[in-house]
Amino acid sequence: MPIRSASLNKQIQKNGARLHLAMASRIHSEGADRPASEHEQALLDERRFLKEAKTKRLQQAELPKPKAAWPVKPPKPPKPPKAPKAPKAAQAAKEPKEAKAAKGHKPSRADKLAKKAENLDAAKKAAKKSAKT
């Protein structure tokens, strides 16, 4: 299993701190012109190994990842057709409904006035008849 680069960063940082401490103690005690000790050389090798591992990990991370395949589902079988319904029992034949008056067949204004005049005449005649009797 590959090592995560985040954990490598932390390891490199710790290694660098130890290496710096080893180099500072060597320079302070022996001088800058002395060669590195075995401990210091081991820290340098470990640091180089960690940096190489980090670069490998970063290169591997840039490679394309395998994608999961979509599952192929088998097709559903077709549903059988429904049987036709049986006719209902014979009922008495219904009479068709009467057609309602259409909206376009309203009485015209002239028809209304004529009917109103007829009603007035009928009312006058009825009044006259009742007065006579």
Contact 55, 8 (CB under 8 A): no
Beta carbons within 10 angstroms of residue 19's beta carbon: 18
Q: What is the pLDDT of residues 77-121, one digit of tens each?
A: 999 999 988 877 766 667 777 776 666 678 899 999 999 999 999
Residues of the chain with pLDDT > 90: what percent?
44
Enter the pTM of the model: 0.44
37 vs 26: CA distance, rounded Å = 8
Contact 8, 57 (CB under 8 A): yes
